[in-house]
Amino acid sequence: MLEVSDLHVSYGNVEAVRGIGMTTSPGKVTLVLGANGAGKTTTLKAIAGLEKPHAGRVVLDGKDITGLAPHKIVRSGVALVPEGRRVFSPLSVGENLRMGAYVADRTKSAEMLERVHEMFPILSERAGSAAGLLSGGEQQMLAFGRALMSQPTVMLLDEPSMGLAPAIVDSILAKVRDMADSGIGILMVEQNAEAGLDVADDVVAVARGEVVYSGPAAEARDNASVLRAFLGEAALTGPGD
């Protein structure tokens, strides 16, 4: 279980994250909603050790991992899939996946690769292709697969459907659900709120660096007007609408 509490992160003297808390546990998807600039990416980066929080705690299965070096956080079981996917375009799909295993337990890498190929058969079919030649949806699956190679218990997903054709969004989010169902806890930032709610267990809405709403996804779906009030009309309008 990942427990983030009272997190504060600043850029210079601007505080982008002001006391955010959220949790996720094995098998669950926590959806993080919020307008541009609300502090969602900063929160994920701080959890992953890429920004240093100046207050607050990140606790994984009872162990305080706040502010550890990024590779130590990966090794402890938290994998970030960054916004924009950032696959290594000139490298092959197989090489990208092997890079994801660099901090992992070597003895389990082959088994993990097999699981990734089962979950994303296209990555097996395209193993020798340059990652840059994949479609956007395939690159997102590669980014998921690369993160899975580090054998995470928690995954942090930053806008996985960004820039994808509306027809692909649901299939990518269905893969997020599959990863959770395999026992991973997921914190997912997603602008496409309607599609995100379909695969989420819980929702946290963030505005101006603070949590303004949190609750079960079913409740948020039934109270779309509540979320609209917190987030504005745009927050519940996906690219396909």
Binding site for ligand ADP (CB under 6 A): 11, 16, 34, 36-42
Distance CA 229, CA 241 (A): 19
Q: Which does 39 bind (CB under 5 to 8 A by kind): ligand ADP, Mg ion, none?
A: ligand ADP
**DSSP code, position 154:** E
| 191 near Mg ion (CB under 5 A) | no
Whether residue 58 contacts residue 47, with contact meaning beta carbons closer than 8 Å, is answered with yes
Whether residue 151 contacts residue 104, with contact meaning beta carbons closer than 8 Å, is answered with yes
Q: Which does 175 bind (CB under 5 to 8 A by kind): ligand ADP, Mg ion, none?
A: none
Which span sits near Mg ion by CB under 5 A: 9-17, 38-46, 173-181, 209-217?
Answer: 38-46
Whether residue 162 contacts residue 172, with contact meaning beta carbons closer than 8 Å, is answered with no
Measured on CA atoms in the order 151, 157, 162, 167, is the torsion positive or negative? positive
Which span sits near Mg ion by CB under 5 A: 37-45, 51-59, 68-76, 117-125?
Answer: 37-45
Q: Smaller CB distance to Mg ion: residue 17 or 104? A: 17
Q: Smaller CB distance to Mg ion: residue 40 or 85? A: 40
- Which of 24, 41, 140, 191 touches Mg ion by CB under 5 A? 41
Distance CA 126, CA 193 (A): 31
Whether residue 33 contacts residue 221, with contact meaning beta carbons closer than 8 Å, is answered with no
Q: Smaller CB distance to Mg ion: residue 41 or 109? A: 41
Binding site for Mg ion (CB under 5 A): 40-41
